[in-house]
């Protein structure tokens, strides 16, 4: 029966060419939008690794104050913030704070020709886990002991980085790793942390590591602070810190950005393209569905004679329905086959550097949706066909 | 004759309403999406407030230092550099310097925090650009020279801070604990006008930045107004000469300095195309936009072709009669094309209505701050062009197929699909 249908449709491939091309294009659209959707959804499902509620990011701008005096002012600002009621803890940071549309990335390795881990690099001080609720999985976080100048500066890497650098499952604690940050440097791993995806929920989960900023560091992490506040703190506290900073030095400017607000702003920007793509895709698919339905319907009324003969020869209503449905499913398969040839190039060529799993899921989704679509579109025409009475249809000839 | 064709087309449309609906749905939504996109582009780069004279404007807002070992450093330009080398150009009518990106400044209303998008500009800013003042005036050159604490605000800020837009001139607005005097209120500017957008504007001299910093890279931009649109090339050439004569800072690290004065579109596309030169990658941008548009139209067009082929084959008897009475293939092709264009026109008008609604929704959603997207003459003209193109694209093949039917077969009722 199926072979018979395939032969039938294959013989009419020229007449159905346009329909096949349409199904092919619909598949390509569904596949590409599906890939974006699956990719976004997978990222969204991965844990962030930190808690952004009640955390504020503070931008400081020293203005015209001479560079040599800036560290002193920063020390006083930190002291004042830590003693302000309503503030739980304060951490010095650099511009790549969570949801900030800013990233620093580089490659870590353990020596020539060893596995590499490419990912985010964060500057962090001893307070960061407390402020952000970062989880330490093994070893320890930075503390007093790291202030002493040692031969190799300490580094904390994330679990993903550990897996990238040591694929055989060893622990990274105590190992030496190399990073090229301007100049090649060696670091000693003192701890392994959970994920820290400052890029936000929709960013690709990737390895990361933290470099230590000691309280005496006068070169780095001078202009951005992360502050955990007590739940419910609002404009009153914000105004108070702004005034305090201005009182310490009038040339300093500061801006306060609560992380939940930053997160929403970032989500809005990052979600817009997939949502717009999704809406366009829905329109295109509805369009294809209506078109398919229309063509099938018109075809049935042109094939009354043929169906009448089949009914007269003993085919049941079910047989006729199945034939109509089968024909469109075979056509869909032709279009799908072409589409899969195109779609398979993406994982094969590794375009965009997205995991193969994303493409495979998108292919399955797209194929499933298309079959569903074809079936739904054929339901009414097939019932129409099944309802044709041979006596009436054959009389018309 | 033409009227006759249109009458026939109308009757055909009414005969099978469901198929007319399918066709119109496809056409109108396709057009809606294209029109919405084009309207957004038009309101970003077309002549709208405050860059009403955009055909006479150039933007110098990026400086590129090429490293000796490859790689580059891209940034906005230093204020001192712009004062020395751009303000002194001979060919432009006027040059305005301002911060290239808006910053955020905080104002407090009772227990509420207002985060205001803030841009510092010079006095020429208000002469080069055409803002709509609701009341008051822009700050002038003297006030900028004296670093007067004056501010121009937009209507929404006025409403949020003072609760009203009338009678606010002269009242104080406290920004970061410093009081500024409101001198003017302007209509809201959409964030899509990225180089002039802000909610409050203050004199550039009130900044805590060092405006005398000789670094080429900084946070500023120049908006250049030419006397005539024809002068743009001349200004670009003059600026090029200036840049070419510049000494390279730190010749051990860098080998070359690049900076261009570009029209609005080019200065936007150049942000995504660092190696594009003065042309700014506009050509590539246009190619991508056009091919995306065509690709997007392909599926609805194919759909319409499929429906049209099926529908016209139903009319084979009519075609047979026409052919038997001497109508040529050309006549028939003309008639069917006309019918299809008539159909797409109907769908197009629907689509324009839908687009107006969609743009209204986008504006209402505040997705882009202060957006005022709407249909205008240019957008409608482009839409009409797209409709005609779509009509011909989707009508040509079915019409050709119809005209090839043989009269004898058609009259016998064979549809020969």
Q: Which H, E and C letters describe A325-347, residue by residue?
A: HHHHHHHHHHHHHHHHHHHHHHH
Would you say residue A33 lies in a domain? yes
Q: How many domains does chain A have?
A: 2
Phi, psi at A124, each rounded to 5°: -140, 150
Express each pLDDT in A76-130 by its tens digit.
Answer: 999 999 999 999 999 999 888 999 878 788 888 887 778 888 888 899 999 999 9
pLDDT band at A181 (very low <50, low <70, confident <90, very high): low
Residue B115 DSSP SS3: strand
Look over chain B and give the mean of its residue pLDDT values, rounded to a whole number.
89
Gap between the Cα atoms of A205 and B48, Å rounded: 42
Range 30-69 of A in CB contact (< 8 A) with B: 61, 63-64
pLDDT number for residue A255: 83
Q: Are residues A241 and A285 in the same domain?
A: no
Would you say residue A51 lies in a domain? no
Mean pLDDT of B242-255: 88
Express each pLDDT in B59-96 by its tens digit.
Answer: 999 888 888 877 778 889 999 999 999 999 999 999 99
pLDDT band at A184 (very low <50, low <70, confident <90, very high): low
Q: Are residues A221 and A314 in the same domain?
A: no
Residue A396 DSSP SS3: coil
Closest to B267 measured CA to CA, from B408, B42, B59: B59
Q: Are residues A203 and A80 in the same domain?
A: yes
Secondary element (H or E) of residue A6: helix A2-11
Residue A179 vs residues A193, B71, B218: alpha-carbon distances, Å: 18, 20, 30
Lowest mean pLDDT: which of A56-70, B42-56, B402-416? B402-416
A189 pLDDT higher than 60 = yes
Mean pLDDT of A275-279: 89
Containing domain of residue A106, as a range?
A: 63-251
pLDDT band at A49 (very low <50, low <70, confident <90, very high): very high
- Residue from the list A21, A235, A253 with its beta carbon closest to the beta carbon of B113: A235
- Asked if residue A116 lies in contact with residue A108, where contact means CB atoms within 8 angstroms, the answer is yes
Q: Are residues A33 and A122 in the same domain?
A: no
A243 pLDDT higher than 60 = yes
**B309 touching chain A per CB within 8 A:** yes
Mean pLDDT of B12-21: 84
B208 contacts A64? CB cut-off 8 A: yes
Give percent of chain B with pLDDT exceeding 90.
Answer: 50
- Residue from the list B25, B30, B208 with its beta carbon closest to the beta carbon of A290: B25
**A305 touching chain B per CB within 8 A:** no
A38 pLDDT higher than 90 = yes
Gap between the Cα atoms of A295 and B302, Å rounded: 12
Express each pLDDT in A331-367 by its tens digit.
Answer: 899 999 999 998 888 888 877 677 888 899 999 999 9
Gap between the Cα atoms of B182 and B169, Å rounded: 5
Q: Are residues A35 and A148 in the same domain?
A: no
CB within 8 A of B148, min separation 6: which ones?
A: B139, B142, B181, B203, B206
**B112 touching chain A per CB within 8 A:** yes
Would you say residue A123 lies in a domain? yes
- Chain A partners within 8 Å of B106 (Cβ): 238, 242, 255-256
B416 pLDDT higher than 60 = no
Would you say residue A328 lies in a domain? yes
Mean pLDDT of A143-162: 87
pTM, two decimals, is 0.82
pLDDT number for residue A305: 83
Higher per-residue confidence, A304 vs B134: B134
pLDDT number for residue B56: 94
Would you say residue A306 lies in a domain? yes
- Asked if residue A159 lies in contact with residue A46, where contact means CB atoms within 8 angstroms, the answer is no
- Chain B partners within 8 Å of A267 (Cβ): none
Q: Are residues A274 and A154 in the same domain?
A: no
**A295 touching chain B per CB within 8 A:** yes
Gap between the Cα atoms of A208 and A164, Å rounded: 10
pLDDT number for residue B265: 92
Q: Are residues A106 and A235 in the same domain?
A: yes
How many residues are present in chain A? 397
Given A223, A251, A279, the domain boundary residue is A251
> Which of A264, A268, A294 is most worth mutating to test chain B (most B CB atoms within 10 A of its CB)?
A294
B311 contacts A295? CB cut-off 8 A: no
A64 contacts B299? CB cut-off 8 A: no
Would you say residue A50 lies in a domain? no
Q: Are residues A24 and A143 in the same domain?
A: no
B226 pLDDT higher than 50 = yes
> Which of A70, A252, A284, A292 is most worth mutating to test chain B (most B CB atoms within 10 A of its CB)?
A284
Look over chain A and give the mean of its residue pLDDT values, rounded to a whole number.
88
> What is the 8-class DSSP label of residue A173?
T
pLDDT number for residue B31: 92
Would you say residue A261 lies in a domain? no
B327 pLDDT higher than 50 = yes
Most confident of A108-117, A388-397, B22-31: B22-31
Cis peptide before A97 (omega within 30 of 0): no
pLDDT band at B331 (very low <50, low <70, confident <90, very high): confident
pLDDT band at A182 (very low <50, low <70, confident <90, very high): low
Gap between the Cα atoms of B103 and A253, Å rounded: 12
Q: Are residues A210 and A308 in the same domain?
A: no
CA dihedral A256, A261, A265, A270 (to 10 degrees): 120
Gap between the Cα atoms of B352 and A91, Å rounded: 54
Residue A206 DSSP SS3: coil
pLDDT band at B151 (very low <50, low <70, confident <90, very high): very high
Q: Are residues A19 and A120 in the same domain?
A: no
B414 pLDDT higher than 80 = no
Most confident of A144-148, A326-330, B365-369: A326-330
Given A226, A251, A276, the domain boundary residue is A251
pLDDT number for residue B397: 87
A290 contacts B26? CB cut-off 8 A: yes
- Chain B partners within 8 Å of A253 (Cβ): 176, 208
The ipTM is 0.76
Would you say residue A259 lies in a domain? no
**A243 touching chain B per CB within 8 A:** yes
pLDDT band at B413 (very low <50, low <70, confident <90, very high): low
Give percent of chain A with pLDDT exceeding 90.
Answer: 38
B317 pLDDT higher than 70 = yes
Q: Are residues A274 and A235 in the same domain?
A: no
B208 contacts A302? CB cut-off 8 A: no
Express each pLDDT in B189-221 by its tens digit.
Answer: 999 999 999 999 999 999 888 888 888 988 899
B316 pLDDT higher than 90 = no
pLDDT number for residue B417: 43
- Chain A partners within 8 Å of B191 (Cβ): none
Express each pLDDT in A218-236 by its tens digit.
Answer: 888 888 999 999 998 888 8
**A74 touching chain B per CB within 8 A:** no
Three-state SS letters, B275-342? CCHHHCCHHHHHHHHHHHHHHHHHHHHHHHHHHHHHHHHHCHHHHHHHHHCCCCHHHHHHHHHHHHHH
- Residue from the list B112, B176, B302 with its beta carbon closest to the beta carbon of A21: B302
Q: Are residues A228 and A302 in the same domain?
A: no
- Chain A partners within 8 Å of B412 (Cβ): none
| Nearest residue in chain B measured CA to CA from A296 | B310
């Amino acid at each position: 029966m199926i072979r018979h249908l395939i032969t039938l449709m294959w013989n009419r491939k020229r007449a159905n060419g346009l329909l096949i091309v349409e199904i092919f294009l619909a598949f390509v659209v569904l596949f590409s939008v599906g890939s974006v959707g699956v990719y976004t959804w997978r990222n969204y499902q991965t844990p962030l690794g930190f808690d952004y509620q009640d955390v504020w990011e503070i931008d400081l701008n020293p203005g015209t104050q001479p560079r040599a005096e800036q560290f002193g002012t920063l020390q006083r600002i930190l002291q004042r913030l830590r003693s302000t009621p309503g503030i739980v803890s304060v951490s010095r940071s650099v511009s790549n704070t969570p949801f900030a549309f800013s990233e620093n990335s580089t490659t870590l390795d353990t020596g020539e020709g060893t596995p590499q881990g490419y990912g985010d690099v964060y500057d962090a001080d001893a307070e960061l886990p407390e402020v952000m609720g970062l989880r330490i999985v093994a070893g320890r976080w930075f503390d007093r002991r790291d202030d002493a100048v040692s031969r190799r500066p300490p580094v904390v890497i994330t679990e993903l980085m550990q897996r990238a650098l040591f694929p055989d499952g060893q622990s990274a604690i105590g190992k030496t790793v190399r990073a090229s940050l301007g100049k090649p440097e060696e670091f000693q791993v003192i701890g392994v942390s959970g994920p820290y995806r400052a890029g936000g929920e929709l960013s690709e989960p990737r390895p990361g590591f933290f470099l230590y900023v000691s309280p005496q560091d006068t070169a780095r992490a001078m202009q951005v602070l992360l502050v955990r506040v007590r739940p419910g703190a609002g404009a009153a506290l914000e105004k108070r810190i702004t005034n305090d900073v201005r009182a310490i030095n009038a040339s300093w400017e500061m801006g306060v950005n609560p992380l939940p607000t930053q997160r929403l702003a970032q989500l809005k920007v990052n979600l817009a393209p997939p949502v717009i793509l999704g809406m366009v895709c829905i329109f295109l698919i509805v369009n294809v569905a209506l078109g398919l339905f229309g063509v099938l319907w018109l075809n049935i009324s042109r094939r009354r004679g043929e169906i009448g003969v089949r009914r007269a020869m003993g085919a049941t209503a079910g047989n006729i329905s199945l034939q109509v449905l089968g024909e469109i499913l075979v056509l869909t398969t032709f279009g799908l086959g072409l589409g899969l040839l195109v779609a398979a190039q993406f994982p094969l060529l590794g375009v965009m550097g997205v995991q193969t799993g994303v493409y495979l899921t998108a292919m399955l989704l797209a194929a499933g949706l298309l079959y569903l679509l074809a079936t739904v579109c054929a339901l009414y025409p097939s019932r129409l066909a099944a309802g044709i009475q041979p006596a009436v249809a054959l009389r018309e000839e | 004759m033409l009227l006759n064709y249109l009458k026939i087309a109308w009757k055909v449309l009414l005969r099978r309403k469901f198929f007319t609906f399918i066709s119109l749905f496809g056409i109108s939504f396709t057009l809606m999406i294209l029109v919405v996109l084009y309207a957004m582009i038009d309101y970003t780069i077309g002549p709208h407030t405050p860059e009403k004279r955009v055909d006479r404007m150039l933007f110098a807002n990026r400086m590129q230092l090429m490293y000796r070992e490859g790689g580059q450093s891209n940034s906005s330009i230093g204020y001192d550099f712009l004062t020395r080398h751009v303000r002194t150009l001979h060919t432009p009518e006027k040059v305005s310097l301002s911060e290239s990106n808006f910053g955020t400044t905080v104002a407090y209303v009772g227990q509420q925090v207002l985060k205001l998008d803030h841009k510092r500009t010079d006095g020429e800013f208000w002469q080069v650009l055409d803002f709509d003042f609701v009341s008051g005036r822009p700050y002038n050159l003297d006030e900028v020279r004296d670093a007067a604490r004056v501010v121009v605000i937009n209507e929404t800020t006025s409403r949020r801070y003072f609760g009203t837009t009338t009678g606010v001139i002269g009242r104080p607005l406290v920004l970061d604990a410093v009081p500024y005097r409101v001198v003017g209120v302007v209509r809201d500017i959409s964030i899509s006008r990225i180089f002039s957008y802000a909610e409050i504007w203050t004199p550039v001299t009130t900044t805590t930045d060092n405006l005398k910093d000789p670094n080429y890279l900084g946070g500023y931009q120049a908006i250049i107004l030419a006397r005539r649109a024809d002068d743009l090339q001349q200004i670009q050439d003059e600026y090029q000469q200036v840049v070419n004569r510049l000494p390279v800072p730190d010749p051990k690290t860098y080998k070359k300095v690049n900076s261009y004065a570009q029209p609005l579109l080019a200065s936007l596309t150049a942000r995504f195309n660092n190696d594009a030169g003065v042309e700014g990658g506009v050509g590539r941008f246009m190619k991508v936009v056009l091919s995306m548009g065509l690709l997007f139209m392909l599926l609805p067009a194919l759909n319409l072709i499929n429906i049209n082929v099926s529908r016209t084959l139903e009319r084979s008897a009519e075609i047979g009669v026409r052919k038997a009475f001497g109508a040529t293939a050309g006549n028939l092709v003309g008639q069917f094309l006309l019918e299809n264009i008539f159909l797409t026109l109907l769908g197009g008008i629907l689509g324009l209505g839908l687009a107006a609604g969609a743009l209204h929704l986008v504006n209402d959603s505040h997705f882009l701050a202060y957006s005022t997207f709407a249909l205008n003459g240019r957008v409608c003209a482009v839409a009409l062009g797209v409709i005609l193109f779509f009509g011909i694209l989707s009508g040509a093949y079915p019409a050709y197929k119809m005209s090839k039917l043989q009269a004898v077969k058609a009259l016998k009722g064979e549809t020969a699909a």
